[in-house]
Structure 1
Amino acid sequence: MNDSSANKSKPSLLRKLSAGLITGAADDDPSGIATYSQVGAAFGYATIWSLFLAMPLMIAIQAISARIGCATGKGLSSSMRKYYPRPWAYGLVFSVLVANVINLAADIGAMGAALKLLIGGPAVLYAAGFAIVSLLLQMYVPFSRYSPILKVLTLSLFAYVATVFVIHVPWGDVVKGIVVPKVRLNAKYAVAIVAVLGTTISPYLFFWQAAQEAEEIRDDDDRHSLKADPSKGPEQIERITVDTTIGMVFSNIVAIFIILTASVVLHAHGKTDIQSASDAAQALRPLAGRFAFGLFAAGIIGTGLLAVPVLAGSSAFAAAGALGYRSGLEYKPHEAKFFYGVLVFASLVGIALNFTPIDPIKALYWCAVINGVAAVPMMIMIMLLAMNKKVMGQFTLNTSLKVWGWIATGVMTAAAVVMFVTWGQ
């Protein structure tokens, strides 16, 4: 084969970016923006170090999740159901569903609130409209055509990078705050760190990325699971590594910029009590100007449109896999009734919560904490699956991923323990 044919057969970088990029970008959803804004406003630069810590850990656990999907051709809950006691799968999936519905409600509400800030009008109706459009797209547009839309929506995250460059940032203080953070030994700070880690390393992302790897195998007649076609192993593992690394680094850089914006504009001006992403956007207007406010608010809508299908979809993949039902966004609704039933149910409950006195936005911070705690048993299960030859065949984890995967699990465990130990202090 000559050089030109080899180059043609080698996938471009853009072709390699798929599930990992979308997963990483979806992590910076409106609920994540709210959490990062809250901790930035409350603690300034003192929590940014946790995102540098989370970055390699997030890359490792997401790459491992993707490998499980690619090696088995199945989602995480399907593999858990097949190889381990089913009650384990049911319990983990239930915790993910509860957290996802709260996240969905908050993201939907934040999108409506952001559009109201920009153009006025009824926030709740905007929220319902965004959710219904997203649901209909998932149900009636094949994911192979819908996925490029989600890739384009990842560009909305650059709004948070751009925001930093339209405000004055004391970079010397920022670097000092990151290198020598003012760590506080109290419950509030511990909860903030768990919330950041729980937002960054979140169970629904594990389910989504593994499911998308399996979905791509199902939808491409030329692709098979690595267990069925080991010859493609090196090529697919390289693709997963590139895709996941770029997606997670992008996600964490954006999160750092959001905390940085909240620190510089809000914390520095004594605005330390932020309840939502739209609160953060509104607080920016008098302090940083209309342009920064507009970028921040528009970014909430773009990231919400990206994250809502990921949250609803991961719920459906997790539930259908755990109970043994057919799942996949390429199927038509009548071909995967249970899967789409969960998708519809999660979306409608998310919409409904925005019409009740319950304020899902205020529940977000604690939802992130719940995710941080729930991630621990989920990560243990992922590591057990990925090291099991019955599950992975010859594609069990190498030493590097084993080490980083268990470090990630240990850090999440330690964060949860510290939070409970300092509770009430």
Structure 2
Amino acid sequence: MTNERLAVTNAGAAASGAAPATKSLWKKFALFLSTIGPGLFLVGYNIGTGSITTMASAGASHGMILSWAVLLSCVFTYFLIVYFGRYTLITGESALQAFRKHFGRHVALFVLVVLVFTEMVSSIGVMAIITDVVHEWSKPLTADGEGISTILLAILFGGMLVFLLINNRYGFIEKLLALFVALMGISFLMTATMVIPDASVVIAGLVPSIPDTANAGLIVAGMIGTTMGGVLYVARSITVKEKQWKASDLKLEKRDAFISSFLMFFLSLSIMAAAAGTLHPQGLHVENAIDMIQLLEPLAGRFAISIFVVGIVCAGLSSLFPHYMLVPLLLADYRNKPMDLSSTGSKAIVVFYAALGLVVPIFGGRPVLVMIITQVFALLITPIILILMTILQNRKAVMGEQTATPLSTFMLVAMTLFTIFMAVIGVIGIIKAL
């Protein structure tokens, strides 16, 4: 009897010990998520339907030979978000506030207006692609074979996002973004592993080259633009400030930057591989959003394409959250005031951006071309933002003893010249496409 009691006691102690251990593990995981919040914001914003369509278009048209553009842009993005975050950690100023303070209201206002405009166009394209893809995928599920109405889908998705944004705090949005990013990553990884091309093809694609084909320059510029858009770095400085990180948190900021940049590279390459392994060998191209469903399904199967659709929806929603939040965030930051999504003005902006999602479902259009061109326009403002930040990083009156090193300055200049070069290629591509 004594041995039985001892066994029961030991089992109870083990169970009670397991519960706190499990709780401790969840607390550590929650703490980890809270420390990479700004990075998840960037990943959610960056890997949206714009990235998906651009990467899918690149993979379908050129296989994996443009992998170098993804790798290079993600490496550059890592350094740039570190630099912008570092500036905010040291000075306590976000990029937009710094531009207004040190270069004048008109310079900051110009940057703000361009960013708001690109957000408007991008919001139209993102929702259009989500609704087109779900509409096409749902056709076998409806009695008439017509699929769920894109207008209805835009209202449902937009309404859900508006409700969540207006009624919840930023901390909840971060957790939701983490969920969407996780689902997106799992979906694209599973799809890519089902259809991924030979590894040697992926490795060969890391050698820089631009194919001598129509729209190749536009696609490359779109790939760079979707990863290196100037809005990312402005948003980065704002989210770092929102976290109230200090100069002592530089190591944490670098870790956050690495995680976000790695996820951008991993997800982008998975999307490209899914298209390269199926569409490219068949000589098929992605011209419209629904092409990804119509062309992939016969080659990859209904199960694989359903997983891919889940990834697209998660990518779109994780992108629209920051899209709808970004303008109130930018305006509040420009005025040096805290963002309040419950204010009448912020609510009106969020509803307006959600309403933009109805443009293509109602009036029609080619969302893939719109998204690629939007990525190029996003790249046009990037050199200006980088030049302004390079100047600030080298002003001792601003940075004190923490001015940029000669190596950091060289890298900032090199990346600025690279974005200018890619912007020129993108503009030439837009002219040819139109």
1:230 aligns with none
Deviation at 1:293, TM superposition (A): 0.6
CA gap 1:44/1:402 in 2 versus in 1, 3 angstroms: same
1:229 aligns with none
2:342 aligns with 333
CA gap 1:264/1:81 in 2 versus in 1, 3 angstroms: same
Three-state SS of the structure 1 residue aligned to 2:285 is: coil
Residue 258 of structure 1, aligned match among 271, 275, 282: 271
1:102 aligns with 121
Identity %: 18
* Kept in 2: contact 1:73–1:213 (CA 8 A): no
Amino acid at match of 1:139: I
* 1:173 to 2:201 alignment: yes
CA gap 1:137/1:396 in 2 versus in 1, 3 angstroms: farther
Deviation at 1:170, TM superposition (A): 2.1
* 1:188 to 2:188 alignment: no
* 1:81 to 2:100 alignment: yes
Residue 403 of structure 1, aligned match among 402, 406, 410: 410
Amino acid at match of 1:412: T
Deviation at 1:306, TM superposition (A): 1.0
* Kept in 2: contact 1:42–1:272 (CA 8 A): yes
CA gap 1:349/1:389 in 2 versus in 1, 3 angstroms: farther
Residue 149 of structure 1, aligned match among 157, 176, 188: 176
1:70 aligns with 89
Three-state SS of the structure 2 residue aligned to 1:45 is: coil
* 1:274 to 2:274 alignment: no
1:363 aligns with 370
* Kept in 2: contact 1:388–1:396 (CA 8 A): yes
Deviations 1:145-184 (A, max 9, x none): 22111112110222112111112522233323434x6633
Distance in 1 (alpha carbons) for counterparts of 2:265 and 2:111: 25
Deviation at 1:58, TM superposition (A): 0.6
Distance in 1 (alpha carbons) for counterparts of 2:349 and 2:89: 24
TM-score, normalising length: structure 1: 0.84
* Kept in 2: contact 1:282–1:293 (CA 8 A): no
Amino acid at match of 1:92: V
* Kept in 2: contact 1:58–1:408 (CA 8 A): no
Three-state SS of the structure 2 residue aligned to 1:251 is: helix
* Kept in 1: contact 2:56–2:286 (CA 8 A): no
CA gap 1:318/1:47 in 2 versus in 1, 3 angstroms: same
CA gap 1:123/1:395 in 2 versus in 1, 3 angstroms: farther
Deviations 1:32-75 (A, max 9, x none): 10111112212222211111111210101112222333334443
Residue 126 of structure 1, aligned match among 147, 150, 153: 153
CA gap 1:403/1:237 in 2 versus in 1, 3 angstroms: farther
TM-score, normalising length: structure 2: 0.83
CA gap 1:377/1:266 in 2 versus in 1, 3 angstroms: same
State which drifts further: 116-125 or 263-272.
116-125
Three-state SS of the structure 1 residue aligned to 2:404 is: coil
2:302 aligns with 290
CA gap 1:78/1:182 in 2 versus in 1, 3 angstroms: closer
* 1:54 to 2:61 alignment: no
2:323 aligns with 311
Deviations 1:174-206 (A, max 9, x none): 323434x66335672222211110011112222
* Kept in 1: contact 2:379–2:423 (CA 8 A): yes
> How large is the RMSD of aligned CA atoms in angstroms?
2.7
Deviation at 1:379, TM superposition (A): 1.9
The number of equivalent residue pairs is 396
* Kept in 2: contact 1:79–1:391 (CA 8 A): no
* Kept in 2: contact 1:320–1:339 (CA 8 A): no
State which drifts further: 67-76 or 48-57.
67-76
* Kept in 1: contact 2:38–2:236 (CA 8 A): yes
Distance in 2 (alpha carbons) for counterparts of 1:70 and 1:254: 28
Three-state SS of the structure 2 residue aligned to 1:166 is: helix
* Kept in 2: contact 1:204–1:311 (CA 8 A): no
CA gap 1:259/1:138 in 2 versus in 1, 3 angstroms: same
Distance in 1 (alpha carbons) for counterparts of 2:81 and 2:322: 15
Amino acid at match of 1:170: D
Residue 385 of structure 2, aligned match among 373, 378, 384: 378
1:206 aligns with 233
Distance in 2 (alpha carbons) for counterparts of 1:52 and 1:413: 18
State which drifts further: 379-388 or 414-423.
414-423
Distance in 1 (alpha carbons) for counterparts of 2:367 and 2:133: 15
* Kept in 2: contact 1:325–1:339 (CA 8 A): no
1:342 aligns with 349
